[in-house]
Amino acid sequence: MNPTTNIAVRAARQAGSVIMRSFSRLDSLTVIEKQSNDYVSEVDRNAEQAIIDTIRKAYPGHAILAEESGAQGKDDFQWIIDPLDGTTNYLHGFPQFAVSIALLHRGRLESGVVYDPLRDEMFTADRGAGALLNDRRIRVNDVKGLHGALLGTGIPFRDQRYMDEYLGMMKDLAKPAAGIRRPGSAALDFAYVACGRLDGFWELGLSVWDFAAGALLVQEAGGVVTDIRGGSRHLETGNVVTGSIKLHREMISTIRPHVPESMPA
């Protein structure tokens, strides 16, 4: 594991400690609705600060893009941070949430960490060195297509402009699939694709901090991550499709008829 990933692991564990200390007193948290169906609490902010403090001690000159505090600094290296992916789940006591930390170097993903503090599962990836779950190497499932595949997704509650198109995608993907799951944390959904718990995943309108680390996990586990048209703009648009090579190809083919020209790739 390279030094930057080690720092990300340390930062994720610090954030995980903050998150779990408050999990038994959810009714006392102060919660603010940032926008429709998008919430933040002091846990998000405190966990984010713990991550930033850990990174700053090791790499004071690196830039940071964090969900709650935004962009900080300019550098060839940029950390992409989601301190609590699945805040709505967390606030309801629904046990599906994670810390997500990625490092970009000149726009290319180099390190990725997704940490589930509830299960103490640490997913890590270094560019060119593979992906791990608690130090055990992981691979995507080598499924041949949609038939019998278990897919993950996220329903676009925050921006519902393309809800009808999304539901059309879901309908056509569901016909041959074994099932579709919507757990509510994109970071963990990507991690689950990487380790084979899910075969594929798609979602519209994600923020880059939701899935940057997860994208590297899947790629290093042998999978494919693209935008909704099969291109490479997913980090820009947040419209993503991921899975094994053959499954991804069939998902894109099934989704394509439902993608309007007005939808960002």
Helices 42-58 and 3-21: crossing angle in degrees, nearest 10, is: 150
Residue intervals of the chain classified under CATH 3.30.540.10 are 3-137
For residue 98, which amino acid is it? A
State residue 94's pLDDT score: 94
Tokens 């439902």 sit on residue: 258
**pLDDT tens string for the chain (265 positions)?**
799 999 999 999 999 999 999 887 777 676 666 655 555 678 889 999 999 999 999 999 999 999 988 999 999 999 999 999 999 999 999 999 999 999 999 999 999 999 999 999 999 999 999 999 998 999 999 999 999 999 999 999 888 899 999 999 999 999 999 999 999 999 999 999 999 999 999 999 999 999 999 999 999 999 999 999 999 999 999 999 999 999 999 999 999 999 998 888 7
Contacts of 197 (CB under 8 A, 6+ apart): none
State residue 34's pLDDT score: 65
Specify whether domain 3-137 bears CATH 3.30.540.10: yes
State residue 44's pLDDT score: 87
State residue 157's pLDDT score: 83
CA distances from 139 to 56, 96, 100, 163, 211 (A): 32, 21, 19, 32, 18
Candidates 107, 75, 70, 115; CA nearest to 209 is 70
In this structure, which topology does domain 150-258 adopt according to CATH? Answer: D-Maltodextrin-Binding Protein; domain 2 (3.40.190)
Residue intervals of the chain classified under CATH 3.40.190.80 are 150-258
